[in-house]
Amino acid sequence: MLTVSTLSDQETEHLNEGVLVNHSAKDVLAWSYRTFGDQLVYACSLGAEGMVLLDLIAEVHPDAHVVFLDTGLHFAETYTLLDEVRERFPTLNIKALTPENTVEEQKQQYGDRLWASRPDLCCKMRKFEPLEKELSHYTAWISGLRREQSPTRKDTPFIDKDQRFSLLKICPLIHWTQEDVWAHIHERDLPYNTLHDNHYPSIGCAPCTAQVLDGSDERSGRWSGMQKTECGLHW
């Protein structure tokens, strides 16, 4: 089986420039499940891309493993969506990952606004560590990154070596635009986070997500006003 340690840089390039190039997201997913089977997991943030990927994955591999990082700090709308997703895709194995400390325990130990004082530490404890622990059981993971989302994502390939988690990382939606994503959601009548209808193009934890009202890039509402732009899960 391909793993992060057996796949050479040359083979990675061959997959991206040859085997997978010009293939649809569904084809990339089908190849991924043929290659990795149940050693593949989708880390879903329940964003708009997540709805598309869940829909495609449920068709390609109905009992696929899916994880959602339940930081305990999501909007109520996000938890409502999680229930709707479980109902819409009953065959998928959807697991919510929780941090070691509850929000209350974190508050007692670090103060009640760690996301404002030390957001990197907060993300490390509430997102990175639970995901790292779960991903240690797998060989590859799927992410909904798209190239047009932000300047830091403009060169994202279909498959890459993710040294941070020692896994292969597959991003089937790299060529999709925001319009493509929403066209698929509406065409398939998929559930989605209703905050998207209220100027929240990208949604994370409630304390670190703001509306985007000025036409800035779609991730500009995340950690708005801070230096931080990523939660540390993606390079």
DSSP state of 128: I
Site for ligand SF4 in 87-126 (CB under 6 A): 115, 119, 122-123, 126
Tell me whether residue 31 or residue 115 sits nearer to ligand SF4 (CB atom).
Answer: 115
Does 204 bind ligand SF4 (CB under 6 A)? Our answer is yes
- Run of H or E including 84: helix 76-88
Nearest-approach distance from CB 109 to ligand SF4, in angstroms: 14
Residue in 136, 134, 112, 132 with CA at minimum distance from that of residue 122:
112
- Say whether 44 is catalytic: no
Tell me whether residue 161 or residue 164 sits nearer to ligand SF4 (CB atom).
Answer: 164
DSSP 12-72: HHHIIIIISTT--HHHHHHHHHHHHGGGEEEE---SHHHHHHHHHHHHH-TT-EEEEE--S
Tell me whether residue 77 or residue 160 sits nearer to ligand SF4 (CB atom).
Answer: 77
Residues touching ligand SF4: how many (CB under 6 A)? 13
109, amino acid identity: Q
Q: Is 68 left (phi over 0), alpha (psi -120 to 50) or beta?
A: beta
Q: Is 44 annotated as a binding residue?
A: no
Residue ranges binding ligand SF4 (CB under 6 A)? 71, 73, 115, 119, 122-123, 126-127, 204-205, 207-208, 231
Active site residues: 231
Annotated binding site for [4Fe-4S] cluster: 122-123, 205, 208
